[in-house]
Amino acid sequence: MNDAITGAWTWLTTSAHWQGEKGVLHRLAEHLYFTGVCLAVACVVALPIALLLGHLGRGGALAINISNVGRAVPTLAVLVLLTITPLGEYGDLPTLIALVLFAIPPLLTNAYIGMREVDTSVVEAARGMGMSGKQVFSRVELPLAYPLIMTGIRTSAVQVVATATLAAMAGEGGLGRIITAGFNLQNTPQVVAGAVIVAVLALLIEVVLVVAGKVFDPMRRRASRTAHADSAPTDGPDEGAGTPTGAADVVTAGGRGSAALGS
């Protein structure tokens, strides 16, 4: 076991492994390209639909069912199936399609539920103040749904990074190729080194998105502004937004389970 760790370290610190067509840097670029493009496409496709449905209060069963189906479908199977269809002749296309498909469920479900979770009395108050549907949407519902929308984007991003790794098993590029190549060469240090790189990238992306989510939270800014005015503690609205991986997620899985049960 220690051999593998020291071997992996040696592999990682050998500069030759970082360069060239099969090097870490090229694979990393491929990986980030897949992730970025697919996440952007998935957001453009899923978020407007989810936000609109959430605003109108329709299609909840659809949102939840899609994400449940997404959980049951093996990523590897979809990748391989797409690869051996005629689509497989178009280079990266099977990977890109599979990644978009897997990025959509968390985006859809989180954004939809985020919109539905907005307190109805707040929405009614806004309407009572004479806000139009559009204004309620952009000034009330969207900021309040923001934390969950961001959770969706984060979940989706992590999932795409993970799925892009599996693309290597279907013969496509990305960081997973370092691992699969290691397996083919029976080179355990390379397998472990590749796994470390992938793991670090996944965790890094998670952390970056958590931080970005907090920095850009519209409610946080609003809260601190009012806090300055009233010199009141700000922990109120921040709490909901600030615990993305903590207690807020706890029931997650359970809730989703019972949602499946109801549908």
Interacting positions 99-128 with another protein (CB under 8 A): 102, 105-106, 109-110, 113-114, 116-117
State in angstroms the smallest separation of the CB of 34 from another protein: 12
CA angle 160, 162, 165 (to 5 degrees): 110
Closest CA to 43 of 105, 118, 94, 86: 105
Closest CA to 8 of 200, 202, 195, 169: 195
Between 100 and 113, whose beta carbon lies closer to another protein? Answer: 113
CA angle 144, 102, 210 (to 5 degrees): 40
Q: Does 168 bind another protein (CB under 8 A)?
A: yes
DSSP state of 136: I
Site for another protein, residues 208 to 227, rule: CB under 8 A = none
| Helix (H) and strand (E) counts in the chain | 14, 0
- Which of 39, 97, 126, 148 binds another protein (CB under 8 A)? It is 148
Count of residues near another protein by CB under 8 A: 77
State in angstroms the smallest separation of the CB of 219 from another protein: 14
Residue type (1 letter), 87: L
State in angstroms the smallest separation of the CB of 232 from another protein: 24
Site for another protein, residues 170 to 189, rule: CB under 8 A = 170-171, 176, 179-180, 182-183, 188
Hey, what are 240's tokens? Answer: 């909901």
- Which of 96, 141, 146, 155 binds another protein (CB under 8 A)? It is 155
Q: Which range touches another protein (CB under 8 A), out of 15-23, 89-97, 128-136, 255-263?
A: 255-263
Q: Does 162 bind another protein (CB under 8 A)?
A: yes
Q: Does 192 bind another protein (CB under 8 A)?
A: yes
Q: 173: left (phi > 0), else alpha (psi -120 to 50), else beta?
A: beta
Site for another protein, residues 54 to 93, rule: CB under 8 A = 64, 67-68, 70-78, 80-81, 83-84
Give the Cα separation of 57 and 50 in Å (integer). Answer: 10
